[in-house]
Amino acid sequence: MRLAELSERSGVSTATIKYYLREGLLQPGRRVSATQAEYGEDHLRRLRLVRALIQIGGVPVAAAREVIAAAEDESLDHYLRLGAATRALPCPEEPAEDDPAVETARRSVEALLEQLGWSSGPGLDMLNPAHRRLIDSVAALARLGYPCDTAHLLPYGQLAVQLAVTDLDMVEEQPTPTGQIEAAVALTVLYEPVLLSLRRMAHAEEAARRF
């Protein structure tokens, strides 16, 4: 199909598609003449994924490019690609304040990981952006005077384990390796708003029940 049709079927303007092509989020189409290119169903599928990551998941364009690149890096094996793709996902990172609260938070988190039985290799922690973000968030809560020690975090950690099991079950439903990578990325990102929305709705529900 032509650019115009790709645009129409995806609901993304041609200008934006061109932008994504420039940014490397989308493979260029098969050139059919000096001034025209042909796109296929896989382009459409990819475009929909990119669009969902950016619009629903709030993933920045640059990060989406990294994810896409990692997902189709043929030089890695399946598991490494999966890890690379998910690690490329953004954890909106703040410039770490050198606060005593951060050190306390780091210890709380370390203790939490131990209680959860998570194998936190000493180098792996710091490489994982999620780990940094967790520490920063806990530190912010502590700075405001809210309890956020290991005991408080533990139930959240246990719930996270349940979530991960459910999520990976869905990933393993995918038949092809590429499909699994894509599913891992899409489900990781797109279930985040689902989860947060449900939590907020549950807050409202529970608050109404209590008052």
Which of the residues 36 through 55 are near its own copies (CB under 8 A)? 45, 48-49, 52, 55
Q: Is 59 in the site for its own copies (CB under 8 A)?
A: no
Min separation Cβ 199 and its own copies, Å: 5
Interface pattern 154-183 for its own copies (x via CB under 8 A): -xxx-xxxxxxxxxx-x-xx---------x
3 binds DNA (CB under 7 A): yes
We find the least distance from the C-beta atom of residue 9 to DNA, in angstroms, to be 13
By C-beta, is 67 or 186 nearer to its own copies?
186
Burial pattern 147-173, b for ≥16 Cβ within 10 A else e, equals ebbbeebeeebeeeeeeeeeeeeebee
Residue type at 147? P
**Piece in contact with its own copies (CB under 8 A), picked from 17-25, 31-39, 62-70, 92-100:** 92-100
Tokens of 93: 């990172």
Task: Identify residue 116 by its one-letter amino acid code.
Answer: L
Contact 14, 7 (CB under 8 A): yes
Amino acid found at 198: L
